[in-house]
């Protein structure tokens, strides 16, 4: 058998399948490590890199004769960029072991290993640990001499890092000078990261620059990628524009206690001292005693993971006692006294099998990538949203692409980016359809909006439940008792396919539904019959035309007088209506241009739905024009809706809150805090008689 010095060149090896796989893994990991650490352009998710790394470790353990100094398992990270000065770390920046068992047994296994190394029995006390967050950022070493920041270096390959002092000085959280009493030499280690809100704001600025045609701009894949890119900017002025943050979690070289350095007994005490010196330390750091408390910490942080303002991919456990840390020591390049306990990966690689377009309850069209099943974020994912046409085009997702998929907690899975080098030949660019894939009505994208929407709201089966609930609500035609659960049953059982089917319901169909007694069924039928007698504003509002609310429906009815006049009005004519602008006019016109929608309206009329119609309202001056009124309490004869209709018909507006801009407060019996507020502000207060007099 060939012998090999670890630091010599690798001798000739047998041409076996296992050896070829080992060589291929090394090449892949070198390429991925270079892209991740040096170019700041990751090509695979962390979970995929970890899987390949573990496979290589296993092969090398089985075949130690194939060991090589250039294996990725013998180094911590990538090489420094040539553009920065290379700096040797006084104390190597080593990695810690990763516990890939994401369940509670991962914490139990670590505690068991520590207890075994310390030769503790079951009767001995629990080991005390410090539990911390595992940040997803860029490791940094800050060197202070006589209390002044003199150098900041990246981890690099663990032995040598990059001097990025000028860029690190731009991070406001990192102190440039420390208080009196700190050691003459102090190296503080921590993580440079970017908050999620800062990351989103940065990417929004980048998108605006790209849209403005600025060359060389790009958006970033994730906050870690953005933070690393900022730290490695050659121009500190550009780095200063990137919102970076920092957390401290450890020490490098420190003047020893015998020469005036600090004396710490525990890791937790060291963190608290760093905090007192002005370094930010994560608030989530905690003491945990034994495996039970480690498990509780892991679960607690896991539940909060998606609400944290920054990304983490796990937690870190460290033996708290520094004396015990020294006793436990290291194995190869990893401390026995610490471990990183990960959570289920939130990003994974998979393949796009197809791109479908789904229609939501409100008619919104959403492109959805159909994926080869992949386990990510604790569940198997087969679909991922592409949000809208702009996002699908920006990410350039195509059928056949290998993509990075992300799922965090309850967030809908989404495609983060495409692995461009794996794109299949002749992959076609995605094009958003301009026809609804469900009902074939026109799909339109209004000016200033990102989404396409189906215009067949009364006909489209995807919008059926939403259309019925909107039509039957109290402010529309009002079908008392027709709520979400009943509509769900009626639609799912295919009893109702469109709005006119409501008025064709029979007692047997209703009574056959779950938890629907004969008396309840009769009540629904009576409510349906009552709803046939409505008003034109209520009917128009009930149709669910996009941008047409109650106030606009009233103005349309007042201006045109009849439904046919509204349905046949041109965009130019609609623009003559108060409260109707170009977007609303186009939406109304598009809605009534769809034959399906007109057919539903005619069927509703045929079912007996009716309302009073008349001549268009006089366009002369209105007595309450420009006034804002607030209603409070119960009026003697007018209901709240009737009073509101009268006020709006006279040109006034009804508000739900009292302010200095309120013209009048109309108060009935049992008026509450609104009346008190009106008196406090010295506003005019009317009763019902005063309102009717004002309306004259």
122 domain residue, yes or no = yes
Q: What is the CATH number of the domain that holds 407?
A: 2.40.50.140
Give the Cα-Cα-Cα angle 661, 628, 618 (nearest 5 degrees): 145
Six-digit token string for 55: 């496979």
Phi, psi of 500 (to 5 degrees): -60, -30
Q: Are residues 362 and 236 located together in one domain of the fold?
A: no
Has residue 75 got a pLDDT over 70?
A: no
Phi, psi of 350 (to 5 degrees): -160, -175
Has residue 112 got a pLDDT over 90?
A: yes
Give the residue carrying structure tokens 């049992």: 670
Q: Are residues 328 and 239 located together in one domain of the fold?
A: yes
89 domain residue, yes or no = no
The pLDDT tens digits of the residues spanning 588-605 come to 999 999 998 999 999 999
What is the spatial distance between Cα 348 and Cα 551, in angstroms, rounded to a whole number? Answer: 49
Confidence bin at 7 (pLDDT 50/70/90):
very low
If one compares 670 and 619, the residue with the highest pLDDT of the two is 670
Q: Are residues 222 and 236 located together in one domain of the fold?
A: yes
pLDDT at 410: 61
Q: Parallel, antiparallel, or unpaired: how do β-strands 664-667 and 628-632 relate?
A: parallel
Q: What is the CATH number of the domain that holds 683?
A: 3.40.50.10190
| CB-based contact 470:550 (threshold 8 Å) | no
Per the prediction, the chain carries an average pLDDT of 88
How many domains, the chain? Answer: 4
Q: Are residues 40 and 160 located together in one domain of the fold?
A: no
pLDDT at 530: 95
Confidence bin at 69 (pLDDT 50/70/90):
low
The pLDDT tens digits of the residues spanning 205-237 come to 888 888 787 876 777 878 888 898 888 888 887
Q: What is the CATH number of the domain that holds 241?
A: 3.30.470.30
What is the spatial distance between Cα 444 and Cα 187, in angstroms, rounded to a whole number? Answer: 59
Q: Are residues 29 and 160 located together in one domain of the fold?
A: no
Give the domain-ending residue among 401, 422, 443.
Answer: 422
| CB-based contact 185:144 (threshold 8 Å) | yes
pLDDT at 316: 97
pLDDT at 128: 97
Report percent pLDDT > 70 for the chain. 94
92 domain residue, yes or no = no
576 domain residue, yes or no = no
Q: Could you count the other beta carbons within 10 Å of the beta carbon of residue 484?
A: 9
pLDDT, mean of residues 467-483: 92
pLDDT at 618: 61
Exposure of 599 by Cβ count < 10 A (0-12 exposed, 13-18 middle, 19+ buried)?
Answer: middle
What is the spatial distance between Cα 138 and Cα 566, in angstroms, rounded to a whole number? Answer: 62
Give the domain-ending residue among 320, 342, 364.
Answer: 342
Six-digit token string for 283: 């608030």
510 domain residue, yes or no = no
> What's the predicted TM-score (pTM) here?
0.56
Q: What is the CATH number of the domain that holds 32?
A: 1.10.287.610
The pLDDT tens digits of the residues spanning 158-206 come to 899 999 998 888 888 888 888 888 999 999 999 999 999 999 899 888 8
Q: Kindly list the catalytic residues.
A: 134
The pLDDT tens digits of the residues spanning 503-536 come to 999 888 888 888 788 888 899 999 999 999 999 9
If one compares 579 and 435, the residue with the highest pLDDT of the two is 435
Has residue 310 got a pLDDT over 90?
A: yes
Q: Are residues 127 and 216 located together in one domain of the fold?
A: yes
Confidence bin at 40 (pLDDT 50/70/90):
low
Has residue 486 got a pLDDT over 80?
A: yes
Report percent pLDDT > 90 for the chain. 51
What is the spatial distance between Cα 379 and Cα 408, in angstroms, rounded to a whole number? Answer: 10
Q: Are residues 139 and 287 located together in one domain of the fold?
A: yes
pLDDT, mean of residues 262-272: 93
Q: Are residues 110 and 245 located together in one domain of the fold?
A: yes
The pLDDT tens digits of the residues spanning 314-351 come to 999 999 999 999 999 998 778 999 999 988 878 889 99
Domain that holds residue 180: 97-342
If one compares 16 and 619, the residue with the highest pLDDT of the two is 16
């Amino acid at each position: 058998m060939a012998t090999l010095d670890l630091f010599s060149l690798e001798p000739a090896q047998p041409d076996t399948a296992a050896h070829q796989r080992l060589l291929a893994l090394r090449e892949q990991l070198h390429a991925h490590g270079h892209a991740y650490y040096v170019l700041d352009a990751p090509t695979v998710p962390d979970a995929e890199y970890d899987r390949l790394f573990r496979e290589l470790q296993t092969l090398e353990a089985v075949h130690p004769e194939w060991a090589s100094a250039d294996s990725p398992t013998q180094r911590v990270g990538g090489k420094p960029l040539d553009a920065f000065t290379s700096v040797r770390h006084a104390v190597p920046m080593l990695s810690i072991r990763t516990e890939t068992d994401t369940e509670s047994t991962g914490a139990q296994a670590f505690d068991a290993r520590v207890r075994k190394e310390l030769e503790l029995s079951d009767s001995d006390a629990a080991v005390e640990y410090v539990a911390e967050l595992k940040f997803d950022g860029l490791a940094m070493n800050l060197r202070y001499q006589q209390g002044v920041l003199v150098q900041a270096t990246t981890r690099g390959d663990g032995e040598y890092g990059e001097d990025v002092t000028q860029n690190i000085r731009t991070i406001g959280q990192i102190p440039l000078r420390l208080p009196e009493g700190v050691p003459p030499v102090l190296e503080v280690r921590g993580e440079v990261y970017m908050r999620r809100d800062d990351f989103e704001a940065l990417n929004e600025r980048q998108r605006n620059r790209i849209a403005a045609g600025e060359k060389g701009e790009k958006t970033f894949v994730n906050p870690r990628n953005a933070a690393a890119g900022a730290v490695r900017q050659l121009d500190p002025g550009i780095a200063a524009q990137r919102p970076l943050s920092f957390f401290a979690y450890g020490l490098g070289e420190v003047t020893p206690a015998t020469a005036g350095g600090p004396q710490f007994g525990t890791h937790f005490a060291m963190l608290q001292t760093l905090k007192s010196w002005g370094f930010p330390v994560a608030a989530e750091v905690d003491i945990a005693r034994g495996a039970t408390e480690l498990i509780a910490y892991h679960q607690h942080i896991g539940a909060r993971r998606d609400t944290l303002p920054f990304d983490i991919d796990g937690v870190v456990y460290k033996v708290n006692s520094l004396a015990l840390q020294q006793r436990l020591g290291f194995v190869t390049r990893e401390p026995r006294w610490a471990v990183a306990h990960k959570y289920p990966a939130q990003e994974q690689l998979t393949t796009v099998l197809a791109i479908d377009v789904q229609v939501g309850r409100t008619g919104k069209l959403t492109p959805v990538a159909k994926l080869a099943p992949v386990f990510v974020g604790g569940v198997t994912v087969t679909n991922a949203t592409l949000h809208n046409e702009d996002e699908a085009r920006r990410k350039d997702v195509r059928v056949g692409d290998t993509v990075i998929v992300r799922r965090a907690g309850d967030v809908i899975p989404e495609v983060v980016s495409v692995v461009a080098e794996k794109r299949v030949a002749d992959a076609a660019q995605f094009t958003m359809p301009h026809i609804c894939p469900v009902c074939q009505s026109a799909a339109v994208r209004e000016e200033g909006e990102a989404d396409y929407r189906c215009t067949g709201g009364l006909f489209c089966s995807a919008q059926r439940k939403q259309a019925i609930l909107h039509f039957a609500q109290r402010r529309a035609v009002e079908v008392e008792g027709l709520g979400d659960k009943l509509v769900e049953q009626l639609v799912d059982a295919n009893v109702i396919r469109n709005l006119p089917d409501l008025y064709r319901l029979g007692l047997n169909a209703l009574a056959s539904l779950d938890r629907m007694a004969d008396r309840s069924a009769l009540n629904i039928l009576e409510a349906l019959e009552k709803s046939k007698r409505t008003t034109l504003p209520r009917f128009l509002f009930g149709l669910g035309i996009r941008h047409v609310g109650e106030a606009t429906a009233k103005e349309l009815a007042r201006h045109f007088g009849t439904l046919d006049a509204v349905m046949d009005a041109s965009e130019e004519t609609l623009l003559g209506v108060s409260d109707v602008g170009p977007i609303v006019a186009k939406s109304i016109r598009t809605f009534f241009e769809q034959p399906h929608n007109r057919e539903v309206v005619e069927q509703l009329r045929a079912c007996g739905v009716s309302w009073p119609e008349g001549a268009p309202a006089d366009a002369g001056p209105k007595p309450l024009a420009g006034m804002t009124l607030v209603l409070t309490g119960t009026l003697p004869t007018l209901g709240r809706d009737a009073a509101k209709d009268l006020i709006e018909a006279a040109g006034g507006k009804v508000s739900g809150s009292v302010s200095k801009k309120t013209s009048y407060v109309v108060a009935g019996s049992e008026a509450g805090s609104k009346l008190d507020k009106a008196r406090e502000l010295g506003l005019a207060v009317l009763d019902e008689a005063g309102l009717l007099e004002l309306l004259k």
